[in-house]
Amino acid sequence: MRIRFRGVRGSVPWATMASIGVGCNTPCVELTDEAAGRTLVLDAGSGIVGLGETMTGPPHPVDVLLTHYHWDHLQGLPFFAPLFQPGWRPTIWMPTLSSEIPLDALFASPFFPVPFERLPSRPAAAIVRPGRLRIGPFEVRAQPLHHPGGAFAYRIRGEAGDLVYATDHEFGDEAVDLAFGAFIHGAAAVILDAHFTPAERPAHAGWGHGDWDQCARFAAAHGVAHLWLFHHKPGRTDEALRTIEADARGLFPATDLAVEGTTFHV
């Protein structure tokens, strides 16, 4: 399974000259089962727009798996190219959380100029609940996280181990953290929310995000093979993020920043 980062920032896409190297789009991760020729998209932040532009050739099924409904995780969906090309078969996988949205609301006037019913390839909606599910060739497990309004983490089976995608999560709820630790245990790669620094986090309690120190210690404690720091604070410079990466490696050496365009396999 090939994984490619298409959007790595949290909250809002905000491009600055000092932050463009790591990338400024909001969350979107592209998974490809190369043997089956199928793609699974994790979240639909602004990073999904560039991904959509790469989807050429004969129309085929494409699945978008959302973690939750905050703007930064779905703001790119109305601009996803396959929705506007006849013959594609998109499905949006939508988690059952404390609040849910009707899919067509994202395209409603006055917020978007093309109504849902006029999309050339209207997406189907599928419900995601905690536990196991199968999306085409992808074997997926869903686990609730600690985030305002709720969010799911996903564990997806790969040929050489499992990938865990866990954004957004705020550590501190003992029961949730215990279950989450068991969920990620032994994964080949874990993508974790490292939005804040340890110094910033106390002033943002209840916002639903973690810091790089928590992520590194959590990965080390649960037998993870590799950690990817993700959901970077908008505007944080490339230089500051590289310093965070170096500091996190002091706690857990197998740590990398999630950078737009980076590809790896599990």
What CATH number did the domain enclosing 97 receive? Answer: 3.60.15.10
Residue type, 138: F
pLDDT tens, position by position, 186-201:
999 999 999 999 999 9
Q: Binning pLDDT at 50, 70 and 90, where does residue 242 land?
A: very high
Instruction: Please state the domain count of the chain.
Output: 1
CA–CA separation, 67 and 193 (whole Å): 12
Q: Give Dmax over CA atoms of the chain in angstroms.
A: 53
| Mean pLDDT, rounded, for 149-157 | 97
Number of residues that this document lists for the chain: 266
Q: Is pLDDT at 100 greater than 80 in this prediction?
A: no
Model pLDDT, residue 50: 98
In the DSSP assignment, the letter for residue 174 is H
Q: Binning pLDDT at 50, 70 and 90, where does residue 55 land?
A: very high
First-last CA distance in the chain: 6
| Helix (H) / strand (E) containing 144 | strand 138-144
Model pLDDT, residue 227: 98
Model pLDDT, residue 102: 83
| Mean pLDDT, rounded, for 117-132 | 96
Average pLDDT, the chain: 96
Model pLDDT, residue 103: 87
Q: Quickly count: other Cβ atoms within 10 Å of residue 166's Cβ.
A: 26
List, in sequence order, every residue forming a beta bridge with 91; answer none if it has no partner.
63, 124
Q: Binning pLDDT at 50, 70 and 90, where does residue 256 land?
A: very high
Model pLDDT, residue 183: 98
What contacts 35, CB < 8 A, 6 or more positions away? 137
Q: Six-digit token pair at 2?
A: 């090939």
Q: Is pLDDT at 101 greater than 80 in this prediction?
A: no
Instruction: Identify whether the C-beta of residue 148 lies closer than 8 Å to the C-beta of residue 134.
Output: no
Which residues form the domain of 193? Answer: 2-265
Model pLDDT, residue 12: 97
pLDDT tens, position by position, 163-177:
999 999 999 999 999
**Phi, psi at residue 251, to the nearest 5°?**
-95, -35
CA–CA separation, 234 and 195 (whole Å): 9
